[in-house]
Amino acid sequence: SAEKMDRRNFIKLGGMGATVFIAWPFLTPLNGVSEDNNKKPNPDFKPDLDIELTAKEHEISLYQGRNTRVWMFEGNLLSGDAESLEALDDSYLGPVIRVRKGQKTRIRFQNQLPEESIVHWHGMHVPEEDDGHPKDVIRNGETYVYEFEIMNRAGTYWFHPHPHGRTGPQVYNGLAGLFIVTDEEEEKLNLPGGEFDLPVVIQDRTIDNRNQLVYLTRGRMERMNGFLGNRIFINGKPDRKLSLKSGCKYRLRILNGSNSRFYKLAWEDGTPLVIIGKDGSLLDSPKSKAYVMLGVAERVDVWLDLTNRSEGSQMTLKSLSFSPGMMGMMGGMRGRDRNNLPLGSTYEILNINIDKTGNNNFELPQRLAEFNKIDPAIAVNRDNPRTFRFFMRRMQWTINGRTWEMTGVTEEETVKLNTTEIWEIANTGSWGMENDRKWMNGRWRRRGRGEQDRNRENMMGGGMQMPHPFHIHHLQFNILERDISGMDSRIWNSVKDGFIDEGWQDTVLLMPGMKVKLIMRFEDFKGLFLYHCHNLEHEDMGMMRNFKIE
Ligand code: C2O
Ligand code: CU
Ligand code: CU
C-alpha cells in the first residue's frame, strides 16, 4: 500500500548527499508519475508574466574554504516587468517573485534535481492543478507549467517544494522563495518600496567542518521533534546582517522559512515591533507588540522607522526565551555538544547596521486595509465546528488519528463549494504532569482524578505534545479564538502576548494544549487540497491530509 511504501522510503532516505541518490530508485514507483503530470503551456492563456523556475543542484560560497552544496531555484524572466523577478542577493534562496492582483502568471517549473519534486505557492488561491499537490510531482528533466490568475490580496506569500516525504530535505537544501503580491488598495498607501521593502527569511542550519549542510543525522527522536539547526541564516546567509540607512523607513517582510524551529521575535533594545501585515494581508491598522511568535511558514510584515536612529548605530532582532514544552526539552538535552541553539533559548537573529544616511517620505497610515472578519453567523456549521486534533498515536504524528494518503479523503474532510465553515484545530495529546491542571474561571486548577488518568492514558498511547504550526492550502482564514484551557501555564505565560490574530492568515501556531477556532470560506474552485502541520519533519512523517471541496 502507499502508506507502507511511504514508511519504507522514509526510513531509507537520510538527508542530502549520497543516501538520496542510492535510495532514489526505490522512491520512483511511490507517486506513480504519469505523462499527465508533465503539464504543458496552454496556448489560450495569455500571461502578463512568464517565468522559468528551475530547481537544480548548485555550489555556493557561504564560508571561507570549501563551497557548500545546495539545491536552489533559479528564475528566468521570459516576459513581463523586470521588477517581477529579482534574485535574492547571491544566496541559495529562490528569487523574489512580485505580482499584482489580477495578473495572469505562467511559471514553468523545471526539475533538474536528482529526485521528484513539485512547487507549491504557499497561501495562494489557485486551482487544484496549480497548487503543487504531492500527487503532481515531476521527475528529473520534466517541466510542469503553472498558469493562474493572481486572486489574492496584497501580502507576503512564498513558494517551496511539496513532494510527499521529501519536503523537509528539499526546503532544507535551499528550495524556497518569496512570492509577493500587491494590489490597488496597497498601492494607494505610501508604504516603503524598492530598496526599502526588504525580505528577511529566517532559517536555521547545521554546517559540518567541511562547510556542508547537515540534515537529520541524530536518529529517530530528532525526526520526531523536527530538525533544529545550530545557527541562524538570514536570506540564505550565515552573516545575518543588513546594512540600512539612518533617516529612512523600511518594510521588513519576515518569513520563518525554517523546517521546525519557531521564534519569539523582539528588538533587543525593547523598541516595540510594529506589525503591518500577517500572511495574506495587511492588518487593518498597525499593531505594536513587545514580541511576536512566528511559527514555521508564518510571515509578518514589520514597519521599521530609522528617522531617529543615528548613523553608526545598530539594532538587533532577537529570539527571546520561552517555554516550548516537549520539543524544547529535547533541544535542551542535546544542547551542550550538538545543538547550541536549543528551542526556547535566547539568541540573535539579525544585526542591523545603520551605516549610511538617507531619507525617504514613506508613511505609516493609521488605516492600512479595509476588512471585516467573516461573520461566524454565516458559517454552515456554526454550532458544530469540524474538529481536527493534531496528536501522536503509536509513535506516528496524526490528524484525528489518521496519517497521509496520497489521494485519500474522508467525509470529515469534504466541504461544499460556496460555504463558510468554522474549524477547530486542537493540539491535544498530553505530556506528563503539565496537563494535570487547567485554566478555569481565570485561574489554574488541578484537574479531577479521572481527567488526569485520561490524560496519562493518552500519553501512554504516545501522546507526546509539541507545538504544531497548522497550515491549510488554497485559502486564507480568520482566527476567531484561542482556547488555552488545556495549556500549561508556563508555556502560555511565556508566549501569550506574541500572537497576531487579526488579518487573513494561512498558518497558525498551536502551542501544546492549545485549540484555535478558524473561520474560512470555500470558493471559486473545487478540488483536492492539503491541510497539514508545517513542521516539515512532521509533515513528511504524515501529519498531512487532503480536504476536498465539492
Ligand atoms: Cu507551505 Cu503545504 O505548504
Ligand atoms: Cu501552503
Ligand atoms: Cu507538527
What's the pLDDT at 418?
Answer: 98
225 sits in which H/E element: helix 220-225
Enumerate residues 6+ apart whose C-beta is below 8 A from 324.
262, 331, 343, 344, 466, 467, 491, 511
Give the mean pLDDT of 335-358. 85
Residue ID of nearest Cα to ligand 1 atom 1 = 122
What's the pLDDT at 457?
Answer: 44
| Residues pairing with 107 in the sheet | 51, 146
Residue 402 CA: distances (Å) to CA of 265, 398, 409, 472, 499: 33, 5, 10, 16, 28
Give me ligand 2 centre to Cα 522, in Å: 15
Q: Specify the higher pLDDT residue, 74 or 339.
A: 74
Three-state SS string over 448-496 comes to: CHHHHHHHHHHHHCCCCCCCEEEEECCCCEEEEEEECCCCCHHHHHHHH
CATH number of the 376-549 domain = 2.60.40.420
What's the pLDDT at 466?
Answer: 87
CB 242 within 8 A of CB 353: yes
Reported ipTM: the value is 0.99
Residue 395's pLDDT band (boundaries 50, 70, 90)?
confident
Q: Which CATH class is domain 194-357?
A: mainly beta
Q: How many residues does the chain have?
A: 550
What's the pLDDT at 330?
Answer: 54
Give me ligand 2 centre to Cα 102, in Å: 20
What's the pLDDT at 337?
Answer: 44
What's the pLDDT at 278?
Answer: 97
Average pLDDT, the chain: 88
What's the pLDDT at 355?
Answer: 96
2-183 has which fold? Immunoglobulin-like (2.60.40)
pLDDT for 386 beyond 80: yes
What's the pLDDT at 435?
Answer: 45
Task: Please write the tens of the pLDDT for every residue from 415-432.
Answer: 999 999 999 999 986 433
Residue 265 CA: distances (Å) to CA of 93, 286, 397: 22, 17, 28
Residue 325's pLDDT band (boundaries 50, 70, 90)?
confident
Residue ID of nearest Cα to ligand 1 atom 3 = 122
Q: Which phi and psi angles does 143 have, rounded to 5°?
A: -125, 140
Task: Report CA 56 to chain centroid distance, whole Å.
Answer: 22
Q: 532 in ligand 1 pocket by Cβ < 6 Å?
A: yes
| Residues pairing with 155 in the sheet | 181
Q: Which of these ranges, 243-257, 261-275, 383-397, 399-413, has the smallest mean pLDDT?
A: 383-397
What's the pLDDT at 339?
Answer: 65
Q: 530 in ligand 1 pocket by Cβ < 6 Å?
A: yes
- From the list 213, 128, 212, the residue with the least C-alpha distance to 168 is 213
What's the pLDDT at 33?
Answer: 45
CA distance 463 to 455: 9
Give me ligand 2 centre to Cα 286, in Å: 25
Residue 473 identity: H
CA distance 143 to 133: 15
Give the mean pLDDT of 250-259. 98
Residue 5's pLDDT band (boundaries 50, 70, 90)?
very low
Give the mean pLDDT of 509-516. 95
Give the mean pLDDT of 521-535. 98
What's the pLDDT at 439?
Answer: 44
User: 3-state DSSP call for residue 4?
Assistant: helix
CA distance 240 to 96: 18
User: 3-state DSSP call for residue 540?
Assistant: helix
The number of the ligand nearest the C-alpha atom of 121 reads 2
Q: 297 in ligand 1 pocket by Cβ < 6 Å?
A: yes
Residue 409's pLDDT band (boundaries 50, 70, 90)?
very high
The number of the ligand nearest the C-alpha atom of 467 reads 3
Enumerate residues 6+ apart whose C-beta is below 8 A from 36.
none
Q: 162 in ligand 1 pocket by Cβ < 6 Å?
A: yes
Residue 371's pLDDT band (boundaries 50, 70, 90)?
confident
Give me ligand 1 centre to Cα 162, in Å: 7
Give the mean pLDDT of 309-327. 91
User: 3-state DSSP call for residue 169?
Assistant: helix
Enumerate residues 6+ apart whose C-beta is below 8 A from 369.
153, 154, 185, 186, 281, 282, 283, 284
Q: 253 in ligand 1 pocket by Cβ < 6 Å?
A: no
User: 3-state DSSP call for residue 294?
Assistant: strand
Task: Please write the tens of the pLDDT for every residue from 429-476.
Answer: 643 333 455 545 555 567 676 665 555 544 433 346 789 999 999 999
DSSP sequence for 241-292: EEEEEET-EEEEEEEE--SS--EEEEETT-PPEEEEEETTEEEEEEEEES-E
CA distance 209 to 211: 5
User: 3-state DSSP call for residue 137?
Assistant: coil
What's the pLDDT at 442?
Answer: 52
CA distance 261 to 347: 13
Q: Which of these ranges, 23-27, 84-88, 161-165, has the smallest mean pLDDT?
A: 23-27
Q: Half-sphere exposure of 200 toward its Cβ, with a 13 Å CA cutoff? A: 26
User: 3-state DSSP call for residue 289?
Assistant: strand
Q: Are strands 197-205 and 249-256 parallel, antiparallel or unpaired?
A: parallel
Task: Please write the tens of the pLDDT for every residue from 101-150.
Answer: 999 999 999 999 999 999 999 999 999 999 999 999 999 999 999 999 99
CB 262 within 8 A of CB 296: yes
Residue 211's pLDDT band (boundaries 50, 70, 90)?
very high
Give the mean pLDDT of 353-375. 94
Give me ligand 2 centre to Cα 123, in Å: 5
In this structure, is the dihedral angle defined by the CA atoms of residues 99, 100, 101 and 107, taken in order, positive or negative?
negative
Residue 210's pLDDT band (boundaries 50, 70, 90)?
very high
The model carries a pTM of: 0.88
Whose grid coordinates read 495529546? 429
Task: Please write the tens of the pLDDT for every residue from 219-246.
Answer: 777 888 899 999 999 999 999 999 999 9
For the CA of 122, the nearest atom of ligand 1: 1
What's the pLDDT at 25?
Answer: 35
Q: Where in the chain is the domain with CATH 2.60.40.420?
A: 2-183, 194-357, 376-549
Give me ligand 2 centre to Cα 406, in Å: 16
C-alpha cell at 88: 535574492
